[in-house]
Amino acid sequence: MISSLDAASLSFLNGMDQIQQRAQRAQQEMTTGLKINSVSDAPDQIAGLWETRSQLNQATQTDTNLARVKTEVDTAESTISSAVTLVERAQTLSSQGVTGTTSAQSRQDIASELGGILQQLVSTANTTVEGRYIFSGDSDQQAPYSIDLTQTNPISSYQGSTSTRQIQGADGTTFSIAKTAQDIFDDPTGQQNIFATINNMRLALMNNDQTAMDAVMPNVQSAGTYLNQQLAFYGVTQNRVTSETDFAQNYETQLKTQLSGIEDADLTQAITEMQQAVTQQTAALSSRAKLPKTSLFDYLG
């Protein structure tokens, strides 16, 4: 298509179009706060921009996951710490009951208090966080234990499952975050079964059976050591979660800074660009208006 405009007019319009484009881009940067609003704004930086955004999203999700895990781990640590105190009380009561001078009635009273401790330990094992039984392993909608002190074996078998849950840190590594109530209180090998140990002492005291009391006392004395080992696991896990959280948050800050450098607009520069565009546009229109307007008839007169 052949234009009816002369070269000077075409040049003027092209110049005005360029000024308008600069003004529009400056206005968009001022409105969005971004210097990259479409692929055409910086095609050579798009790959880096998308990669940085992806890394930031992953780091943010990791931080969110760690925050939820922290609540669970902190609760577990606090709960087991309380259980340690209960077991220490059971050890003290057992030491009192096993003494040969303790009366049968006193042993009945001690047995009753040990029954209360068993109930509290089962309640500890059934701790929930956000509607999940945190010591039930992967079967976290099922309470791990129930208790009925009228039975010779008052505590039910473990109703949960193994625990395979792990959490991923910001550095990409994964680690376990939980033990099951069976691991903590009800060792299936029977060597460190806190529930069975306290219940055996309770039954021995109820029956005023000195031989049985003497036989179970060593296990009562070692129960606290075993439970403290389980508590140590959660202490280590707490430290790991805190460390990974700090790493994730620092990495987030680093990525946000990197992303800002790629896509954030320089508002001062954008405002200056807009002002210059308006000034140039006004000057161009003013200059164009002052050009002499002639036609063929002016030269034929």
CB 160 within 8 A of CB 133: yes
Residue 276 lies in a domain: no
- The residue ranking higher by pLDDT, 74 or 283, is 74
Closest CA to 133 of 181, 78, 83: 181
Mean pLDDT (whole number) for 257-274: 63
Residue 275 lies in a domain: no
When the pLDDT of each residue in the chain is averaged and rounded to a whole number, the result is 82
The CATH number given to whatever domain includes residue 183 is 1.20.1330.10
Residue 170 lies in a domain: yes
| pLDDT tens for each residue of 221-253 | 888 888 999 999 999 999 999 988 888 888 888
CA 120 to chain centre: 30
Contacts of 127 (CB under 8 A, 6+ apart): 75, 76, 79, 133, 134, 135
- Residue 251's H or E segment, with its range, is helix 210-263
- The most confident of the ranges 13-17, 208-212, 220-224 is 208-212
Say how far apart CA 127 and CA 144 lie, in whole Å: 9
Closest CA to 176 of 195, 186, 185, 163: 163
Q: In the structure, what pLDDT confidence band is assigned to residue 35 with cuts at 50, 70 and 90? A: low
| Domain range for 117 | 49-258
Percent of the chain with pLDDT over 90: 47
As to burial, measured by CB atoms within 10 angstroms (0-12 exposed, 13-18 middle, 19+ buried), residue 242 is: middle
Say how far apart CA 158 and CA 196 lie, in whole Å: 13
Mean pLDDT (whole number) for 258-273: 62
Closest CA to 275 of 19, 5, 16, 82: 19
Number of domains in the chain: 1
Residue 219 lies in a domain: yes
- The residue ranking higher by pLDDT, 239 or 17, is 239
Residue 32 lies in a domain: no
Indicate if the pLDDT at residue 275 is higher than 90: no
Residue 27 lies in a domain: no
Mean pLDDT (whole number) for 249-265: 75
b/e per residue, 1-40, with b = 16+ CB within 10 A? eeeeeeeeeeebeeeeeebeebbebbebbeeeeebbbeee
Residue 130 lies in a domain: yes
Q: Specify the range with the lowest mean pLDDT, choosing from 53-62, 108-117, 248-257, 292-301.
A: 292-301
Say how far apart CA 70 and CA 24 lie, in whole Å: 48
Q: Specify the range with the lowest mean pLDDT, choosing from 27-31, 172-176, 181-185, 297-301.
A: 297-301
Residue 178 lies in a domain: yes
Structure-block tokens of residue 36: 């990259």
| pLDDT tens for each residue of 60-99 | 888 888 888 999 999 999 999 999 999 999 999 999 999 9
As to burial, measured by CB atoms within 10 angstroms (0-12 exposed, 13-18 middle, 19+ buried), residue 54 is: exposed
Indicate if the pLDDT at residue 191 is higher than 80: no
